[in-house]
Each structure stands twice: as C-alpha cells, then as structure tokens.
Structure 1
Amino acid sequence: MVLEIDEIKKILPHRAPFLLVDRIIEIDPFKSAVGIKNVTYNEPQFHGHFPHKAIMPGVLILEAMAQVGGIAMLYPEENRGKIALFGGMDNIKFKKMVVPGDQMIMKANLLKVHGDYGKLHAESYVDDVLAAQADFTFALQRPED
C-alpha cells in the first residue's frame, strides 16, 4: 500500500517545514512502514547547516525515521488524531552524511507495543547504504491530554 502526502497529512500532525516524510511505500499497521524523504537544498535547515557544505542535521534524520514509525502506529482508524511523543532514543548511530539530492529510504519496525506505549527500531538508507539507525520509545496521546 502506498500513501501519498495528502494521506500522510491526515495521519501525522506535522506540517512544513517539519513534515519529513514524502511518501509511504509499504505499511503493515502496528508492525512496520517504509517511507521516503526526498532531500532538497530548498529546505530551511540547509541555509545554516552548513552553508559551505549542506548536511542534513542528525536530529532531523532521527525525526524523519520516527515519523515513519509514527505512521505505522497512527494509521489504524482507532489511533487517528493521536500524536506520538518521544519517550527516549537509544542505540543511535550515524553512518553516512545525508546531503541535498539524496533520497532517504526509512524503515521502521515496531518491536513491542503495549497499549499506547511502544518501542521501534528504525533505519535510514541512501543509495542502499545505511545512513542512520536508532531505537525509539514512544507514547501515543490525544493532543488535548
């Protein structure tokens, strides 16, 4: 199943410039998702990080990976309208710089889910080379809570 940007915006509360997933190319709700982020020089972070050599900030790579995992959790109708909040990040590794012109393929797998809490492992690839990986703990909540 493919989710285009309009469907992604129905699932995630993020908006530009902080919506960091352009397309979901695979999804197995409550289990996994694979998403794409097309990295372009027009994004605001590249005007300051770093002007002489644009590099996507690691925190934004992590956020993009977490958003793909969030889509796997928030896709089911019973979770629509909730937001995924970070509880923690572990085992973070950056292996390759991500620069304008790259396409990140992000794979998120839910390791365990207990009610509105869970843990997921995510990886980001550029040209089939591992760029980053991390484990995330999260909690789902209604925005008004």
Structure 2
Amino acid sequence: MTATLPAKKVRTGLTHDEVRAILPHRWPMLLLDRVDEVEPGKRAVATKNVAGTELWFQGHFPDQAVLPGVVMIEALAQLSGVVSALEGGADETKIIYLAGVRSIRFRRPVLPGDRLVLTAERTAGGGGISEYKVSAKVDGQVAAEGALSIADPAHGKA
C-alpha cells in the first residue's frame, strides 16, 4: 500500500482507510479513527471514538469501564508515527516503534462514548528517533498529556 500525501503540506481529513495505508496496525490495534489534520514531520490532530464494545473494556473494570492508559499511549504513539511516516511525502506503509514514554500524566478517566481528540507535535529529533509532545482530550478537558519518543529503524539504528 502507498500513501499519496504530498510532503510538508498540511492535509485535513485522512480517513480510516488512508490511516491504514500509512500504519501497519490492524484491528484491534489500529486506534485512530481518522486524522483530522497532519503537517508531515511536524504535528497532527486525530480522533478516536471510544466504543463500549472495545475488547479492553471486558476486563478493565467491567463494572465501571475505563479506557486503559496504555491504550491512550498507543493511540498517541500511532499518531506520532503518522507524522513521522509522512515526513518524506508519499511513502509505503511503515513500521515505526514506540521507543520511550516520558512524563505522561493522566488527568481524567476516559469512558465508553467519549470522543478523544489526540495531538502530537514533534519537539526534537528527526529521522531515526523523534520526541513528541502529546495530549488526549475529551470535550476540551485533558485526559492525558506528556512526551513520548518513536523510532524509525529505516533511518538508522533505533
């Protein structure tokens, strides 16, 4: 599969299928429903609609379902991966690894029915390892925020 986005140009409204063309993740691990805006190599905003039928809710507090923090971290890492993968323009599906999680703070629970608005902004690095400032919000309230690093093994040692 090949993504057909121009390099360094802000693009809006990447559909779920376009996200699938960029990331190798598949159900149940593809967590981005759409990428609302992306500036390759710099930043992006995405949406994850939290459904009560997601498999983690079966065991993560079944009497009061809460989206696990690690799922939010993975969604934020995937969004950071989209920013990085599109840096060079049109590109084949890329595997980009979560390399580190720093200072992530969880500010409120995320529940079934919530709509997460995810943001990722590159703050350092490029190519091999990049750091991102990330956040997840529900109705304008911060649910999680912090920094994470991703590694692109195609650009040197990860």
Say whether the fold is shared (TM-score over 0.5): yes
Matched with 2:148 is: 136
TM norm structure 1: 0.93
After superposition, give the CA deviation of every residue in 1:111-133 in whole Å (9 maximum; x if it has no partner): 12232211111000000000001
Q: Which residue of 2 aligns with 1:107?
A: 119
Where 2:143 maps in the other structure, the secondary structure is strand
Alignment equivalent of 1:45, drawn from 39, 42, 56? 56
TM-score by length of 2: 0.85
Cα distance in 1 between the residues matched to 2:90 and 2:131: 19
Within 1, Cα distance between the matches of 2:127 and 2:120?
19
Of 65, 68, 71, the residue aligned with 1:57 is: 68
Match of 2:104 in 1: 92
Partner of 1:16: 27
1:7 is matched by which residue type in structure 2? E
Q: How many percent of aligned residue pairs carry the same amino acid? A: 36
Amino acid aligned to 1:105: V
Shift of 1:79: 5.0
Alignment: residue pair count: 143
**2-side partners of 1:7 and 1:114: how far apart?**
23
Q: Where in structure 2 are there 5+ consecutive unaligned residues?
A: 1-11
Letter in 2 for 1:130: V
Q: Which residue does 2:139 correspond to in 1?
A: 127
SS at structure 2 position matched to 1:83: coil
Which runs of at least 4 in structure 1 moved beyond 4 Å after TM superposition? none
